[in-house]
Structure 1
Amino acid sequence: MSDSFHPETLAVHAGRRIDPATGAVTPNLTLSTTFERAADGSLPHGLNYTRLDNPNRHALEEALAALEGGREALAFASGQAATAALLQALSPGDTVLLPDDIYHGTRVLAETVLGRWGLRVVTVDFTDSAAVAVALEHTAARLLWIETPSNPRLKITDVRTVARLARAAGALVVADNTWATPILQRVLELGAHVALHSTTKYIGGHSDALGGAVIFSADAPPDFVARVRENQRLGGGVPAPFDCWLLLRSLATLPLRVRAQSATAAQLAVWLATEPAVARVYYPGLPVHSGHAINAAQMSSGGAMISFEVHGGFAAASTVAARVKLITRATSLGGVESLIEHRKLAEGPHSPTPDNLLRLSVGLEHVDDLRADLAQAITGLAM
């Protein structure tokens, strides 16, 4: 499908075709694990075995590539599977630069699991472009991993600047665009070679389908793309056909959902910043956020995620999470329902996340109802 269409149009039509046999508008679900060869041994439909390819996965990958503005996409069984496939496309002894604030699972996978395999990890404050330049100069990094807004403190990386530095140093640039989605931020246009998504989150949007994806820019090195594709097909971390079907279904409403959730989040962030029980609000849509100007230059809004710290430490954060009635206490984010999580409790005692930080994924409920629930939850906290 032409990339000249607007995101709303691509979200509805990319990867979808009318079934020529029945005229069905909704894509068929192909559950078969294997596909018949012709008498001469050829594959007349281009399909062999569903770990290697599947019509539903192909449709999802086509849609994601179009929406992110990439050359091609690869779908995985989870965001972690996608992350592992990218990092394992490197070689033992290669160095990866990670930001100092990043999804806990990415850090642990890179440092612990792949550290045993030989991956070297260097952590840098990516909000400091000068520090990134120094790290690139002294480490000969093979890959630089951007996450903006970051999880859970919503730090903002200047993608254009950092990507330019990395490319000049000969490093690959991966940008985890899960929190922003291609609706709010186009990381490939900003200079990344690869956009990563946990499609479980906003792309799925209904907390009912697990998945991940990587989308490659037009100038992503072909040998690296080939290794990632090999990891997908031989490693076997591929999504089930039904999960692909669900994710493609959800793409149609992605622009509407994300923009509505972001609008509500912006109102809640402003209100939280005025509450005496709240010590700090992390939201790049607030003018007081240190990355506000950069975020405004590369992202169309502040997004739908808010983190905030409450006075009273670990115990107070646990109390707030326990008191909510409308908002659900649960891991994950990006669904139509609002979720809250005490991140230090989830990540463990060795996590660098502040003890008193709560992460809020804003859903599609009315802003007044969410505000009222949060207000009653923080009322009476020790100042």
Structure 2
Amino acid sequence: MSQRHSATIAARAGIAQDPAFGAVTPPLYLTSTYELKAFKQPGQYDYSRSNNPTRDLLGETLAELEGGAKGLVTNTGMSACLLALQLIGPDDTLVIPHDCYGGSYRLFFNLASRKRAFKLKVVNFQLEQWAEEVRAAKPAMIWLETPSNPLLQITDIQAVVALAKEFSAKVVVDNTFLSPVLQKPLDLGADIVVHSTTKFINGHSDIIGGALIAKEQSVGDELKWWANCLGVTAGAFDSYQTLRGLRTLLPRIKQHQHNAALVVDYLQQQPLVNKVYYPGLPDHPGHAIAKAQQFGFGSMLSFDLAADEALLPVFFSALKCFTLAQSLGGIESLICHPGSMTHASLDAATQKAAGIGPTLIRLSVGIEDAAELIADLAQGFAAVQQQSDPTAQASAAAAQGGQSTAGSDAQFRLNPAFTALW
């Protein structure tokens, strides 16, 4: 395990290590193939799907940050999930949380039901009987997402790890919401950490990528073989961009958290907010566990708008600083409606079971001026308040031509941009 501080590891990733010309920043190796020294004498690298110096540097840095033996960088966060699943087979059971990210749920559900790749058991880790359900399933792998997306629910990693030892199950933790700066699942006993590097690791919303960090070298070697076999490794340029973003991870996270705390304080005082979901709040059900296993509470939060679902467009259209978009973890503040965006692939019953209501809104708080972010939200709430007036509601309905919510939803689902979700 590295003795260096996370700030040093991230900031000095590849710095002053160029053996050719002494470049301070590491070079970008865009080559697809490599020259052999002679016949049947390959060098360290032969083909970039298998190995690439830029990608390897990123993987090594992430492994050091997480305290793992091997880091593998993939072309998307979902391919990182797919890669981890190569460790189990048709006779094995995968346990997943009931409220995981919609894309992950879609992958798990369809691989289990349509491909018979493994057996699937969905468990609510927030209920007292979670251990009994997991024990009865006798899984080969347990997948955790803590904090969860989008309700920021917390799962006790050490408690799950202790149970997993009973049947030698591998514990995989999606650490995307916190990054290795705020949580180190491998130190808590997990076997594998998953990241969508698209998010906080890169932090600039300009690449798509993923990563797996294995605690044991042997597991990392097996995953590396599968990564090459499946062809899910990341490209050199995306790896280079991610390395550049990674170097500012610590100062970014500090500003993200500072702003998030101020936004949470504001939302708690806002009459048009029913409930705020943020582990940093003392009354959050997982607050004590989060405080024990995390180094901070992050900058992701959600809240229920205390207004009719029909007023969501009014709220979103009034915002100027928060951008309505998928994803999270960039320096810019993003806002989304999980029910129709990040978790749209879940049917209505599954969304309800996961606690995703029709007016749930998720925020990824960026590094802009906090006062301006709060003023922006205030502008949105003011617009909703104005439209809540009965006269204004009648005018809005007339302007829509009496279009029903069901009709609007049907039209939304026909949009070609979202066909991949269903």
TM-score category, normalised to shorter length: over 0.9
Aligned to 1:167: 165
Q: The residue matched to 1:174 in structure 2 has which SS? A: strand
- C-alpha RMSD of the superposition: 1.6
When Rg is computed on C-alpha atoms for both structures, the one with the higher figure is 2
Alignment of 1:117-266 (within 5 A): 117-118=115-116, 119-128=118-127, 130-218=128-216, 222=218, 224-266=219-261
State the 1:227 CA deviation: 3.6
Task: Identify the match of residue 269 of structure 1 among 239, 244, 264.
Answer: 264
**CA–CA separation in structure 1 for the residues paired with 2:16 and 2:114:** 45
Alignment of 1:307-322 (within 5 A): 307-322=302-317
- Stretches (4+) displaced over 6 A: none
Retained in 2: the 8 A contact 1:167–1:173?
Answer: no
**CA–CA separation in structure 1 for the residues paired with 2:213 and 2:205:** 22
Retained in 2: the 8 A contact 1:14–1:66?
Answer: no
Q: Indicate whether 1:281 and 2:279 are aligned.
A: no
Give the stretch that moved more between structures: 2-11 or 17-26: 17-26
Q: The residue matched to 1:88 in structure 2 has which SS? A: helix
Identity %: 39
Alignment of 1:1-383 (within 5 A): 3-44=2-43, 46-118=44-116, 119-128=118-127, 130-218=128-216, 222=218, 224-346=219-341, 347-348=343-344, 350=348, 352=351, 353-379=356-382, 380-381=384-385, 382=388
**1:80-105 alpha-carbon deviations (Å, 9 max, x no partner):** 00001111331013211111111000
Q: How many residues align?
A: 377
Q: Which has the higher helix share?
A: 2
State the 1:230 CA deviation: 2.2
**1:104-157 alpha-carbon deviations (Å, 9 max, x no partner):** 0000000013432212221111123x4232122211111001101100000000
**1:267-315 alpha-carbon deviations (Å, 9 max, x no partner):** 1112101110001110000111111111111112210101111012432
Which letter does structure 2 place at the counterpart of 1:94?
Answer: D
Retained in 2: the 8 A contact 1:111–1:120?
Answer: no
State the 1:332 CA deviation: 0.3
**CA–CA separation in structure 2 for the residues paired with 1:138 and 1:313:** 41
**1:175-218 alpha-carbon deviations (Å, 9 max, x no partner):** 00000111011111011100110000000100001110000113
State the 1:10 CA deviation: 0.7
**CA–CA separation in structure 1 for the residues paired with 2:368 and 2:176:** 21
Retained in 1: the 8 A contact 2:213–2:220?
Answer: no
Q: TM-score, normalised by structure 1?
A: 0.95
Q: The residue matched to 2:292 in structure 1 has which SS? A: helix
Which letter does structure 2 place at the counterpart of 1:85?
Answer: L
Which letter does structure 2 place at the counterpart of 1:59?
Answer: L
Which letter does structure 2 place at the counterpart of 1:95?
Answer: T
Q: The residue matched to 1:279 in structure 2 has which SS? A: strand
**CA–CA separation in structure 1 for the residues paired with 2:20 and 2:91:** 52
State the 1:31 CA deviation: 0.8
**CA–CA separation in structure 2 for the residues paired with 1:144 and 1:274:** 38
State the 1:15 CA deviation: 4.0
**CA–CA separation in structure 2 for the residues paired with 1:21 and 1:96:** 47
State the 1:17 CA deviation: 4.0
Which letter does structure 2 place at the counterpart of 1:49?
Answer: Y
Retained in 2: the 8 A contact 1:102–1:150?
Answer: yes
Can you give the 5+ residue segments of structure 2 that lack an aligned partner in the other structure?
390-422
Can you give the 5+ residue segments of structure 1 that lack an aligned partner in the other structure?
none
